Amino acid sequence: MKDVSDPYDLFDAWYAEARKSEPSDPNAMALATATADGVPSVRIVLLKGLDRRGFVFYTNMESRKGAELRDNPRAALCFHWKSAKRQVRIEGAIGPVSDAEADAYFASRPRDSRIGAWASDQSRPLDDRSTFEARIREFDAKFPGENVPRPPFWSGYRVEPNRIEFWQDREFRLHDRLVFTPTGPGGGWAVERLYP
């Protein structure tokens, strides 16, 4: 792994390669959150936006992850691209995306996914699958056609990195690791190589 000064440039290059080589969901990332008292939880979500402000995903804000992010607005992400033998770990604070960003992404989703966002009380108990299917029919009738507005409880979060680590597999477990940490408000990054 060559030394570089900007983690976003390196991520963009690795992500472009992953989109060519990964058989499915190269944008899949593990999202780790924790309760206010530090009990961790992890699940897979999809990266839906990336710029110099951070890494974006969308969810029901009343879900378990939404509650944990409200009470403890920090998270960790992990991309693992097995075919490329690479991993990227990101840690940082959570911030909301703007309403305009959330509206634009929600409108880009297939209609059935938009209806599903209304119908699902994500992470809460469900007595029977038929109850969920009835709610899908209810919201399908409520929002005929393509105009399905974004629910008020559904939006996006941006992980604003304070640490980004790149890991490249090497033979005999002699892996290559670079970690980036911000140097201050000017947008610079300190780079450090780590032992495998």
Instruction: Kindly report, residue by residue over 130-163, the tens digit of the pLDDT.
Output: 999 999 999 999 999 989 999 999 999 999 999 9
Domain that holds residue 54: 7-101+154-194
pLDDT, one tens digit per residue, over 91-116 is 999 999 999 999 999 999 999 999 99
Q: Among the options 70, 158, 173, 177, which is catalytic?
A: 173
Tell me which residue of 75, 83, 65, 76 sits closest to 26, measured CA to CA.
Answer: 83
**54 occurs within a structural domain:** yes
Residue 79 sits in a domain whose CATH number is 2.30.110.10
- Helix, coil or strand: residue 49: strand
At 3, the pLDDT band (50, 70, 90 cuts) reads low
Tell me which residue of 168, 187, 169, 171 sits closest to 179, measured CA to CA.
Answer: 168
Number of domains in the chain: 1
Tokens of 190: 């300190």
**158: annotated active-site residue:** no
Q: pTM to 2 decimals?
A: 0.93
**106 occurs within a structural domain:** no
**17 occurs within a structural domain:** yes
Tokens of 135: 């709610």
